[in-house]
Amino acid sequence: MPLMTPEQYEESLRKLKLKVYLQGELVSNPVDHPIIRPSMNSVKMTYALAQEPQYEDLMLATSHLNGSRINRFTHLHQNSDDLVKKVKMQRLLGQKTASCFQRCVGMDAMNAVDSVTFEMDRKLGTNYHERFIKFLTRVQDKDWTVDGAMTDPKGDRSLSPSKQADLDLFVHIVEKRADGIVVSGAKAHQTGALNSHAILVMPTISMGKEDADYALSFATPVDAEGIYYIYGRQSCDTRKLEGGSIDVGNSQFGGHEVLMVFDNLFVPWENVFMCGEYEFSGLLVERFAGYHRQSYGGCKVGVGDVLIGAVALATEYSGSSRASHVKDKLIEMIHLNETLYGCGIACSAEGCPTASGTYLIDLLLANVCKQNVTRFPYEIARLAEDLAGGLMVTMPSEKDLRHPEIGKIVEKYLKGVATVPTEDRMRILRLIENITLGTAAVGYRTESMHGAGSPQAQRIMISRQGNLEQKKELAKAIACIAGK
Domain segments of the chain as ranges: 6-282, 286-467
pLDDT of residue 102: 97
Closest CA to 304 of 334, 343, 348: 334
Mean of pLDDT values over 460-480: 95
Which of the four pLDDT bands, split at 50, 70 and 90, describes residue 442?
A: confident
Closest CA to 194 of 23, 51, 27: 27
Closest CA to 181 of 51, 113, 271, 53: 271
Give alpha helix (H) positions in 374-421. 376-388, 391-394, 398-402, 407-413
Residue 31 to residue 28: CA distance in whole angstroms: 9
Residue 365 to residue 468: CA distance in whole angstroms: 15
Q: Which sign, positive or negative, has the C-alpha torsion 62, 67, 68, 73? A: negative
- Do β-strands 198-201 and 216-221 pair in parallel, antiparallel, or remain unpaired? antiparallel
Which of the four pLDDT bands, split at 50, 70 and 90, describes residue 440?
A: confident
Rg (CA), the chain: 24
Which of the four pLDDT bands, split at 50, 70 and 90, describes residue 446?
A: confident
C-alpha 16: how far from its chain's center? Answer: 22
CATH for 6-282? 2.40.110.10
Q: Name the packing angle between helices 324-349 and 376-388 (round to 10°).
A: 160
CA atoms within 13 A on the CB side of 60: 18
Residue 443 to residue 90: CA distance in whole angstroms: 13
Share of the chain above pLDDT 70, in %: 100
For residue 267, CA distances in Å to 176, 199, 200, 228, 275 come to: 10, 12, 12, 15, 11
pLDDT of 134 higher than 90: yes
CATH for 286-467? 1.20.140.10
Give tens-digit pLDDT for 91-123: 999 999 999 999 999 999 999 999 999 999 999
The model's pTM is: 0.97
pLDDT of 439 higher than 90: no
Residue 11 to residue 4: CA distance in whole angstroms: 10
Mean of pLDDT values over 403-413: 98
pLDDT of 1 higher than 70: no
Mean of pLDDT values over 279-284: 98
Contact 253, 45 (CB under 8 A): yes
CA atoms within 13 A on the CB side of 61: 22
Residue predicted with more confidence, 270 or 452: 270
pLDDT of residue 438: 87
How far is it between the farthest Cα atoms of the chain? 86
Give tens-digit pLDDT for 259-274: 999 999 999 999 999 9
Q: Name the packing angle between helices 80-97 and 37-49 (round to 10°).
A: 130
Give the chain's mean pLDDT: 97
- Do β-strands 198-201 and 146-149 pair in parallel, antiparallel, or remain unpaired? parallel
Give tens-digit pLDDT for 179-210: 999 999 999 999 999 999 999 999 999 999 99
Share of the chain above pLDDT 90, in %: 96
Active site residues: 100, 104, 191, 257, 292, 296, 299, 447
Give tens-digit pLDDT for 285-329: 999 999 999 999 999 999 999 999 999 999 999 999 999 999 999
Complete DSSP assignment for 104-146: HHHHHHHHHHHHHHHHHHHHH---HHHHHHHHHHHHHHHT--E
Give tens-digit pLDDT for 30-71: 999 999 999 999 999 999 999 999 999 999 999 999 999 999
Give tens-digit pLDDT for 223-253: 999 999 999 999 999 999 999 999 999 999 9
